[in-house]
Copies of this chain bind each other. A is one copy, B any other.
Amino acid sequence: MGRTTSAAGSLDVIPVDECYQRLAGHELGRIGVIAGHQPLVIPVDYGLDGRTIVVRTHPGTTLSAAEHADVAFEVDEFDRARRSGWSVLVRGLAEEVGPGHGADLVARTRAVGVRPWAPGEHGNWLRIIPQAVSGRRVSPGQLPWGVDDRAHL
């Protein structure tokens, strides 16, 4: 656990292994994509295949902008009353699972168990391959949440 100290206070950087543990402990994240030069942030259910994030998508929606694109994926938890919390930010490449993928990868992706978007219809699978992962934690008495993003630089 690294700690950055400045006149502003101190900030805990979450080590990469712990970032993945926190990702594994949650099911709801937010994907950031660029659609027509405009950033969008969409909440999504997700699961993990190793360190790859797996998301179900609905064909033809905004998330189709994520195909073969750089995306962000964020998970956080915050206790407003205690003014404490943490966030993990993944920067990665998104790839839709398709006919070009081997049966092994398709099977592994399905085994993640993210619920389908609708009964009887499977939708598409999106895999986000992390290229950079960072996390930060704010404890009571430290910086207010969210306005210092040094841990994500």
A interface residues, Cβ below 8 angstroms from B: 7-9, 27-28, 30-34, 37-45, 55-58, 61-63, 70-74, 76, 78, 80, 85, 87, 89, 91, 115-118, 120-121, 123, 143-150, 152-153
Contact = CB atoms under 8 A, between A and B. Distances in A.
Contacts of A57: 147
Contacts of A73: 41
A149 B41 CA distance: 11
A42 B146 contact: yes
Nearest to A9: B118
Contacts of A153: 61-62
B8 A118 contact: yes
25 contacts: A28-B146, A30-B74, A31-B41, A32-B32, A38-B70, A38-B72, A40-B72, A41-B72, A41-B89, A42-B87, A42-B146, A42-B149, A43-B76, A43-B146, A44-B146, A44-B147, A45-B144, A45-B145, A45-B146, A56-B147, A57-B147, A61-B150, A62-B149, A62-B153, A118-B148
